[in-house]
Structure 1
Amino acid sequence: MRTLNLGILAHVDAGKTSLTERLLHAAGVIDEIGSVDDGSTQTDSLALERERGITIKSAVVSFVIGDVTVNLIDTPGHPDFIAEVERVLDVLDGAVLVVSAVEGVQAQTRVLMRTLLRLGTPTLVFVNKIDRGGAQYEKVLREISDRLTPSIIPMGSVRGLGTRCPSFTPHGADEADFTARLAELLADHDDAFLAAYLDDEKPVSRERLRDELEAQARRALVHPVFFGSAITGAGVDSLMTGISELLPATEGDAAGPLSGAVFKIERGPAGEKIAYVRVFSGTVRVRDRLRFRQDQEGKVTAISVFDRGSAVPRPSVSAGEIGMLWGLVGVRVGDTIGVPRTTSARHRFAPPTLETVVVSRPADKGALHAALVQLAEQDPLIDLRQDDVRQEISVSLYGEVQKEVIQATLANDFGVEVTFRETTTICVERPAGTGAAVEVMGKEPNPFLATIGLRVEPAPVGSGVRFGLEIELGALPPAFLKAVQETVHETLRQGLHGWQVTDCMVTLTHSGYAPRQSHAHASFDKSMSSTGGDFRNLTPLVVIDALRRAGTTVYEPMHRLSLEIPADTFGSVLPVLARLRAIPRTPAMRDSSCVIEGEIPAASVHELEQRLPALTRGEGVLECAFDHYEPVRGTPPARPRSDHNPLNREEYLLQVQRRVTSRGEGG
């Protein structure tokens, strides 16, 4: 049987969780359809999801259509959880994008479709809520074509639009208007089909038309559009047929080299870690030892595979399937299992651009840290930042709703009550030039038994931090080399202004150490011999010295801005955009509305969201998504350091000496 890993995506409240329930019911997996309002849906299992009526974590359920097993992944719709969505997109074979027939194309719908197009994910569009008052057909089709993609084809017609008993009737192959429209769309993407279409002597057959539609839909060249209602069930049978026929299910190569991706982590009842893995090739069996993330390894102790609505224990999980794996203690979201995929340039998560300090009662600090570590396992982009100096913990965020969710999760799941400081923007630093520094063992002011020379220089945007060698291989013991490399990455989490340094190349240019020595008939003497601690303690000083010589520029995150407002409110909106440092391009007039596109600092987005309803009589629609970083104009903002501050050599050495004295120093 073939397997299709399917994502359902939508703007919040478009009805995708209700559609999931309807699909499970139509496939015979559940007897009763759950309600988002009542908190009785299959996929919203978190108490907070049921309480708020939104999806926060992706969930997997399974059902069968004909000869296709569908692993359906219900994903969050709120923009604050876009990272959760993007992790899921990386493991999908196809997607259904849900659009409301009443609200039409909304801000998050556009973000999602843009991502689906970038990844080349085959996508069907389902226009939901045709039973609601105010539902539209032609208007929504125009919006989809104008704002999402012009490569669409409506697959049927609607009767009873906006009534309690609407119906969706699929177009037949004998409908001339439909076949002509479909043929023209398909001809835009295939020269051979275009030639056949233009051949008056031999018209394109219905079979050729259908085959070409299937082929182009599976290659994400065209996007069939279905209409229906998740509440009444109208149009859902046609959508299910489209899912099985127009999206690319696969059998996979179960005997090939193992390749998989971890897209979700959760904890079981006993606190054990469970990894959700999409297997692209090969087979994972219980008791297999799996490698992931460089030198990490774990033994699989149990496996469950999704089957007809639930996860069932199995001895193995094979290519094309999604499995829950127990036993991989060190695994994280985003890890590759086995051989990396050649197409894994797909991981391009937009970084969180906000952060806040989490505040708890002093007695709960230990429990808070443990709880946040668990949350960071499930979402690595939370990116905990521990400030040992101020005894504070910061977390990264995508938006204010995510902050509320973290707060409620800590209270409900871990019994830790927290508040938050004011949300601030996360900047980054990049080297402005090239700088080098050397500290030589035995020469003042170096107090450590280690020689380290480093050069820091700019690297291409998006490359992160890379580490290279100019010393001879074998000149430094592997343990000492590892200590330098790890500490370089750790130190660059805070640059000259306290922000993470990125897009740079760090090269080890000099090295030296004191070989292991001891007095006669005595044990090892670390006062005469280099240890890993010498290299870990010296590296921050050399990194910061080289960085000082290079200089750094602070960059702030910029969001791509798309704002649709009533045309008569343009005069009042424009000055606000200017005050918020937005950079709008020439506005476009569309009927009675005005569309403004451009960019805006991430720091200004929340205020624009708050002010927009009053400025536009509640009719403004704002779409924002991270786009790039730009140099900060004027005095660069600084972030307080959370380390022992190698910017101040005297203070740093004093702190390191205290740490060494209190903990003891080892190799």
Structure 2
Amino acid sequence: MDQNKIRNIAIIAHVDHGKTTLVDQILKQCGTFHEGEEVNERVMDSGAIERERGITILSKNASVNYKGYHINIVDTPGHADFGGQVERVLGTVDGVLLVVDAFEGPMAQTRFVTQKALQLGLTPIVVINKIDRDGCNPHSALDKVFDLFCELDANESQLDFSCVYASGRKGICRKEIDDPDGDLRILMDLVIDKIPAPKGDPNAAPLLQISTLEYSSFLGRMAVGRVQQGTFKTGMTVAQSFMTDNDSDTPKVKNIRIQKILHYDGIQSSPIDEAGPGEIIQIAGLETFDIGDTLSATDKPVSLPRIHIDPPTISMLFTVNTSPLAGKDGGKFLTGNNLAERLERAHMADPALLVEKADGASTFKVSGRGILHLTILVENMRRELYEFTIGSPQVIFQKDEAGKLLEPMETFKVEVPSEYSGPIIEELGRRKGEMVDMQTDENNRVNLEYKIPSRGLLGVRAKLLSLSKGYAISQSLFLGFEPYKGDIPARTNGVLIAKEPGAAASYALAKLEDRGALFIPPATEVYPGMIIGEHNRTTDIIVNATKGKHLTNMRSKASDDNIQLTPYRRMTLEECVTFINDDECVEVTPLALRLRKITLDPHKRKQESKSPVEEDED
């Protein structure tokens, strides 16, 4: 392929600013799909969880052939927890399409991904998206983008960025906001003109660094990367430079034979005989590999510096399920070896996830960039029929040279109607948040900006939605490590703990409603030590949820059937994880999520606990 006819771009933006929808329209308008072919909405979001939640989790590649040019497009996640995916793939492209919502303007994650792109010297093209949205202000959004570039020390050529106005949903694009509607070929012409062709000598020794991986049911795991120089051919032997656990400083080298080379053709892959500089390819034939490994010539092996990824901030303990109901919910993989093998695969696929062996049998400490980062892994594992328990999330601390404790801090922004701002300011203050800025706009909405410890953000979004009747819009961005800010109060309420094994009875649950909010419906299987609700008071209380009504000769069928229960609180995985305290865990099975105490025996629990535990006498 002619090197000058290749363009490599990544699409970056804050979550929900329309990246994936824009890619859909680019693929359609550039003739990637046949006429009449049925195409799913958000075709790049191929994972089940991505489609359900409407977010991009994994970076994915596609390509379009337009006016004789082969344009590789990398769709990236917009959520801060998956920033590791963005950091990896930016090294494979020469420019970025920065998508900004015309209504919201640049947001927290916009700043993060833009900073990474500008530091690498990539050429930006700004797309002001969603210009069809009511109340949007494209000119204001563009001004804010320019201010952001100035803050991030963009160079002169980056500050002289090109800009288009678009609606990804409608597939329209304009050079100027007052121009008549055109299609997205206006944007693709700009990509050809402004994004530089890839550099690299095709006659030099072959060189490629693995930036991500993909899986094929026919070819297995495939390495994905950009050819930096030289030519890779099917059947050729190259040197693979990789790191081992035993010696973290010196890379090892082994020779491998390339079985197959594929490049992106639309959203599919097609085999090719050879690939030159600038091409983003998939390589089959590597038995084992990790992201960051280098492929080079066998006579002069090269080891490129490992891809830098920001350190994780949150960790959780993964352990084998020890509950009385273990193995009864359709789980197929239950042992410590199953858990270890799956977590190791997760680390190989995503270097931002760190896995370490922890104290205790079959216990692993998994560290990631945030709660969502870790819970997506948990959700994928339960869908693959794994069964295990996870502990409460713990913030990862560091120490400075003087031995002083440092903790991760985040910038946290909240937008809320002014009448709800008081309780939210009080709540964030309780969580050691330090207010940086407060502004009220013309719509009487208050914009709050805080600097707050990552510990203070655990479970904060659900709390803010409750305090604001669902109106709070929040976003956060990792800031860095600062001195420890002191204790932050944990959950103030105790829990209702099941006393007897069996099925929960409506009669018993009706009696418990005055004690607190229930997490389970009638007929749910419970066991001693399982958490079935949140207590109204600060102490834990042991209750009998299986007790039925005593039978007598006096019957009143109507009154027996008319037990009206308040709808129970159905907890999502994220809510479960942020609800539990250090002495509690979440039992994860393919069919259910259960909250429980780590120590199920009430007597042992009483010995371990400093606070008293009541027992319900009813």
- Asked if TM exceeds 0.5, the reply is yes
Q: Specify the TM-score bucket, using the shorter chain as the normaliser.
A: 0.5 to 0.7
Among candidates 326, 331, 353, match of residue 284 of structure 2: 326
Greater CA drift, 85-94 or 292-301: 292-301
1:227, distance to aligned residue in structure 2 (A): 1.2
1:95, distance to aligned residue in structure 2 (A): 1.0
Once residues 467 and 343 of structure 2 are traced to their aligned partners in structure 1, the CA distance between those partners, rounded to angstroms, is: 38
Q: Does the 8 A contact of 2:415 with 2:448 survive in 1?
A: yes
Identify the residue that residue 548 of structure 1 maps to in structure 2. Answer: none
- What's the TM-score once normalised by structure 2's chain length? 0.65
User: Is 1:254 the equivalent of 2:202?
Assistant: yes
What secondary structure, in the 3-state scheme, does the structure 1 residue paired with 2:295 have?
strand
Once residues 370 and 5 of structure 1 are traced to their aligned partners in structure 2, the CA distance between those partners, rounded to angstroms, is: 35
* C-alpha distance 42-593 of structure 1, shift in aligned 2 (>3 A): closer
CA shift digits 1:627-667 (9 cap, x unpaired): 3223436699xx99xxxxxxxxxxxxxxxxxxxxxxxxxxx
CA shift digits 1:419-462 (9 cap, x unpaired): 42211111234554xxxxxxxxxxxxxxxxxxxxxxxxxxxxxx
Identify the residue that residue 420 of structure 1 maps to in structure 2. Answer: 390
Once residues 446 and 206 of structure 2 are traced to their aligned partners in structure 1, the CA distance between those partners, rounded to angstroms, is: 52
Letter in 2 for 1:424: Q
Once residues 34 and 13 of structure 1 are traced to their aligned partners in structure 2, the CA distance between those partners, rounded to angstroms, is: 26
Once residues 32 and 622 of structure 1 are traced to their aligned partners in structure 2, the CA distance between those partners, rounded to angstroms, is: 42
Identify the residue that residue 20 of structure 1 maps to in structure 2. Answer: 23
* C-alpha distance 228-40 of structure 1, shift in aligned 2 (>3 A): closer
Which residues of 2 match residues 440-519 of structure 1 at below 5 A? none
User: Is 1:602 the equivalent of 2:454?
Assistant: yes
* C-alpha distance 415-144 of structure 1, shift in aligned 2 (>3 A): same
Unaligned runs of 5+ in 1: 153-187, 191-215, 433-551, 641-667
Letter in 1 for 2:435: P
Q: Does the 8 A contact of 2:108 with 2:477 survive in 1?
A: no
Identify the residue that residue 349 of structure 1 maps to in structure 2. Answer: 309
* C-alpha distance 302-259 of structure 1, shift in aligned 2 (>3 A): same
CA shift digits 1:522-555 (9 cap, x unpaired): xxxxxxxxxxxxxxxxxxxxxxxxxxxxxx4443
Among candidates 325, 329, 342, match of residue 371 of structure 1: 342
Among candidates 234, 258, 262, match of residue 304 of structure 1: 262
Once residues 280 and 52 of structure 1 are traced to their aligned partners in structure 2, the CA distance between those partners, rounded to angstroms, is: 36
Identify the residue that residue 229 of structure 1 maps to in structure 2. Answer: 167
User: Is 1:266 the equivalent of 2:214?
Assistant: yes
Once residues 31 and 322 of structure 1 are traced to their aligned partners in structure 2, the CA distance between those partners, rounded to angstroms, is: 24
1:127, distance to aligned residue in structure 2 (A): 2.2
Letter in 1 for 2:283: L
Which residues of 2 match residues 133-212 of structure 1 at below 5 A? 133-146=134-147, 148-149=148-149
- What's the TM-score once normalised by structure 1's chain length? 0.60
Identify the residue that residue 531 of structure 2 maps to in structure 1. Answer: none
Once residues 313 and 63 of structure 1 are traced to their aligned partners in structure 2, the CA distance between those partners, rounded to angstroms, is: 16
1:103, distance to aligned residue in structure 2 (A): 3.8
Identify the residue that residue 360 of structure 2 maps to in structure 1. Answer: 389
What secondary structure, in the 3-state scheme, does the structure 2 residue paired with 1:273 have?
strand
Once residues 61 and 335 of structure 2 are traced to their aligned partners in structure 1, the CA distance between those partners, rounded to angstroms, is: 34
Identify the residue that residue 90 of structure 2 maps to in structure 1. Answer: 89
Letter in 1 for 2:385: G
Aligned residues: 450
User: Is 1:557 the equivalent of 2:408?
Assistant: yes
Once residues 583 and 14 of structure 1 are traced to their aligned partners in structure 2, the CA distance between those partners, rounded to angstroms, is: 28
What secondary structure, in the 3-state scheme, does the structure 2 residue paired with 1:125 have?
strand
Letter in 2 for 1:297: K
Letter in 2 for 1:230: G
Identify the residue that residue 497 of structure 1 maps to in structure 2. Answer: none
Once residues 150 and 253 of structure 1 are traced to their aligned partners in structure 2, the CA distance between those partners, rounded to angstroms, is: 34
* C-alpha distance 618-249 of structure 1, shift in aligned 2 (>3 A): farther
1:586, distance to aligned residue in structure 2 (A): 5.7
The structure that is helix-richer by fraction is 1
Once residues 628 and 129 of structure 1 are traced to their aligned partners in structure 2, the CA distance between those partners, rounded to angstroms, is: 32
What secondary structure, in the 3-state scheme, does the structure 2 residue paired with 1:351 have?
coil
Identify the residue that residue 112 of structure 1 maps to in structure 2. Answer: 113
Among candidates 584, 592, 607, match of residue 435 of structure 2: 584
Q: Does the 8 A contact of 1:292 with 1:337 survive in 2?
A: yes
1:53, distance to aligned residue in structure 2 (A): 2.5
CA shift digits 1:292-342 (9 cap, x unpaired): 231132412222122344322223322101111122333211334347799
Unaligned runs of 5+ in 2: 174-183, 243-250, 323-333, 489-581, 584-618
* C-alpha distance 318-260 of structure 1, shift in aligned 2 (>3 A): same
Q: Does the 8 A contact of 2:103 with 2:138 survive in 1?
A: no
1:70, distance to aligned residue in structure 2 (A): 0.8
Identify the residue that residue 238 of structure 1 maps to in structure 2. Answer: 186
* C-alpha distance 594-248 of structure 1, shift in aligned 2 (>3 A): farther
1:602, distance to aligned residue in structure 2 (A): 1.2
Letter in 1 for 2:20: T
1:615, distance to aligned residue in structure 2 (A): 5.2
Q: Does the 8 A contact of 1:353 with 1:396 survive in 2?
A: yes
Identify the residue that residue 554 of structure 2 maps to in structure 1. Answer: none
CA shift digits 1:152-182 (9 cap, x unpaired): 9xxxxxxxxxxxxxxxxxxxxxxxxxxxxxx
* C-alpha distance 308-390 of structure 1, shift in aligned 2 (>3 A): closer
Once residues 219 and 339 of structure 2 are traced to their aligned partners in structure 1, the CA distance between those partners, rounded to angstroms, is: 16
Letter in 1 for 2:123: P
Greater CA drift, 360-369 or 370-379: 360-369
Once residues 22 and 311 of structure 1 are traced to their aligned partners in structure 2, the CA distance between those partners, rounded to angstroms, is: 19
CA shift digits 1:575-629 (9 cap, x unpaired): 4333222333465676666655553211112344333345566555544222322
Q: Alignment identity in percent?
A: 27
Q: Does the 8 A contact of 1:253 with 1:281 survive in 2?
A: yes
